[in-house]
Amino acid sequence: MCERAIRPAKRFWWTTLSMPTIKLATCLSAGRNSQRPDQIKHIYMNLIELEKFLKGQPSFRARQVKAAIFKNLIESWDEASPLPKDLRESLKKNFSLEITGAVMESKDKKTIKAAIKLEDGEIIESVLLKHNDGRNTVCLSSQVGCPLGCRFCLTGKMGFIRNLEFFEILIPLLFFARHLKKSEEKITNIVFMGMGEPLLNYDEVIDAIRTINDENGFNIGARKISISTVGIIEGIKKLAREKMQINLAISLHAPNDSLRSQIIPFNQSHPLKNLLKTVSYYIEKTNRRVMIEYLMIKGINDKPELAFELVNLLKDSLGKLFFVNLIKYNATGDYQPSDQKDIENFKRILEKNGVPVVERYRFGENIKAACGQLAGDCRRVRFRDEN
């Protein structure tokens, strides 16, 4: 899968959470022997300490341990049968595997949103999307909050708190993988479209992807992994040079600088000309098709003349290796979604002018798990082991 070994983290841990006091549609436990709320303590695993702990063992033990955690998805060290019994007992005493998440499930059962509390008390949200064709996609976060302040996004309204380290990015993925294992299902796709701008936390996101891609990790192919960016030019260039076939998505949402700067302040200092030049470089370097994401916001960017402008912009700048993904806006208070007839008209204009276009299925709107809605509730989640 990937060419180099996974870079060890400074520490690797799982948080153990009690159930929140807010009303939840569904509560899932990813730990087999979960404690009562008044017993729960925050426990985290340190991969560096674990690696040190295994120093006296044969060299293949570290690979066995990583495979047990990420590939076999063990929930107890007793399940790590390749390990000697005395080692399993020692690991049980020193390194917890338990994860408990606060979870909301959509009415149609196709979306599960998990609020995961980190060691420092910050909370991130991640989403499992269950498709009709059998795919299971996990939407991952890369930051706590976001520094870009896009007008249409609840995460942007949080402001920026901090970057996630690569092992923190993986915690929700491990949670959902264990959950799906119970029904003999697997995670098939990964999208970095959750909280934060992935390319502003480039190294940690790439390290997380290496673990996701690694045969002793989650063993998910790079072509099943997508990164969405508002347009971090240096990050796109670096991604083009990576020896992994990761998919790139650009959050465009407007066909000109004037409109885009209104809804994406970042565009004021990083205009479309520079962004699309960089995307063209990415296409030339990788020969991979890029997804252009376009939110349909009522009265803002859904007019027919803007569809024609988008056609000219993309065909002139990107050639043929791209497609447009129209996304009906998920209300966050400031804006409203476009009417369906306007979306269909916008889509027809693109199609008639030779622009490949699809309309994204809407997941999780009723639990604020849809695009642009993450962090709407997570800052208010309270856990019962807190005062």
Catalytic residues: 125, 371
User: How many angstroms separate the CA atoms of 186 and 172, rounded?
Assistant: 14
Type of residue found at 103: V
User: How many angstroms separate the CA atoms of 140 and 197, rounded?
Assistant: 11
Helix, strand, or coil here: 7? coil
Question: What are 369's two structure tokens?
Answer: 């798990």
Domain boundaries, the chain: 118-380
Residue in 277, 241, 143 with CA at minimum distance from that of residue 200: 143
User: How many angstroms separate the CA atoms of 76 and 93, rounded?
Assistant: 11
Q: No. of H helices and E strands in the chain?
A: 11, 12
Residue in 41, 16, 154 with CA at minimum distance from that of residue 97: 16
Q: What is the pLDDT along the chain (387 residues), one digit of tens a residue?
A: 333 333 333 332 222 333 222 223 333 334 333 332 222 222 455 565 777 888 888 888 988 998 999 999 998 999 999 999 999 999 988 887 876 668 888 888 888 888 888 878 888 899 999 988 999 999 999 999 999 999 988 888 889 999 998 888 998 999 999 999 999 999 999 999 999 999 999 999 999 999 999 988 899 999 999 999 999 999 999 999 998 999 999 999 999 999 999 999 999 999 999 999 999 999 999 999 999 999 999 999 999 999 999 999 999 999 999 999 999 998 777 899 999 999 999 999 999 999 999 997 654 444 444 454 445 455 454 444 444
User: How many angstroms separate the CA atoms of 107 and 364, rounded?
Assistant: 8
Q: Where are the beta strands (DSSP E) in 118-203?
A: 123-130, 136-139, 143-145, 160-163, 189-192
Integer distance in angstroms from the first to the last C-alpha of the chain?
Answer: 46
| CA angle at 91 for the pair 86 and 96, rounded to the nearest 5° | 150
Strands 225-229 and 247-251: what pairing? parallel
Question: What are 165's two structure tokens?
Answer: 């380290």
**Candidates 1.10.150.120, 3.90.1330.10, 3.20.20.70, 1.10.238.10; correct CATH number of 118-380?**
3.20.20.70
